[in-house]
A = this chain, B = another copy of it.
């Protein structure tokens, strides 16, 4: 029993990442046995070593895929909101929070990875996070051009903005006493408070309705 039929050529790498993300969500924890990933894919554990140097590399790939998905969701909102930077900041933040609350374990893998993943060695990983941040900065810059946050240091405010949302999402994910709806309400409340503060700096009469 060895080399399989030609049908499933390069599927293993893609499927392994996919199944890893699924198992991550299912088990709610990082320590997914390689064996179960292999079983879900339909091969044996050693076969995965032909596609990933080791388990950490597989988790890194899952993490990168997570950043890709998050970026895509934020980018979709970005395009849909062209011309309304304030609306983008709000709905982009909602999208970010929704992604985090719907994929809590993946989100934790993205933003609180075990150091042994060797994330710092991989230029890609910090790049992916940077792309998400740059999308936020673009939104802030546009908002500033529309009269909000006059004279503010965007780098500084951008980081604070991100910190607030990341913090709210992290604390809510961690709090097991809350159900999904309560986590969402709590996070949304923080985002709304943040948007109110930005709205207060801008041209009057901007409704906060979502």
The residues of A with any CB-CB pair to B shorter than 8 Å are: 28-31, 108, 111-116, 119-120, 126, 156-157, 159-160, 162-168, 170-171, 174-177, 186, 189-190, 193-194, 197
A113-B174, A120-B176, A163-B190 are known; give 19 further A-B pairs, CB within 8 A.
A28-B115, A31-B114, A112-B112, A120-B177, A126-B176, A126-B177, A156-B189, A157-B193, A159-B168, A159-B171, A159-B189, A159-B190, A160-B164, A160-B190, A160-B193, A162-B167, A163-B165, A163-B171, A164-B167
Known contacts A160-B194, A194-B160; A170 and B176 CB within 8 A of each other: no
Pairwise interchain contact A171-B164, C-beta atoms closer than 8 A: no
Q: Cα distance A171–B126 when bound, in Å?
A: 12
Q: Which residue of B lies closest to A167 (CB)?
A: B167
Chain A contact surface mostly: helix
Partner of A29, one of B29, B114, B166: B114
Q: Cα distance A30–B159 when bound, in Å?
A: 28
Known contacts A126-B177, A176-B120; A111 and B157 CB within 8 A of each other: no
Pairwise interchain contact B111-A174, C-beta atoms closer than 8 A: yes
Q: For residue A76, give the distance in angstroms from its CB to the closest CB of chain B.
A: 24
Pairwise interchain contact A167-B177, C-beta atoms closer than 8 A: no
Q: Which residues of B contact A164 (CB under 8 A)?
A: 160, 163-164, 167
Pairwise interchain contact B170-A114, C-beta atoms closer than 8 A: no
Pairwise interchain contact B166-A171, C-beta atoms closer than 8 A: yes
Interface centre among A156, A164, A167 (most CB of B within 10 A): A167
Q: Which residue of B lies closest to A121 (CB)?
A: B176
Pairwise interchain contact B29-A115, C-beta atoms closer than 8 A: yes
Q: For residue A183, give the distance in angstroms from its CB to the closest CB of chain B.
A: 12
Q: Which residues of B contact A115 (CB under 8 A)?
A: 28-29
Pairwise interchain contact A166-B170, C-beta atoms closer than 8 A: yes
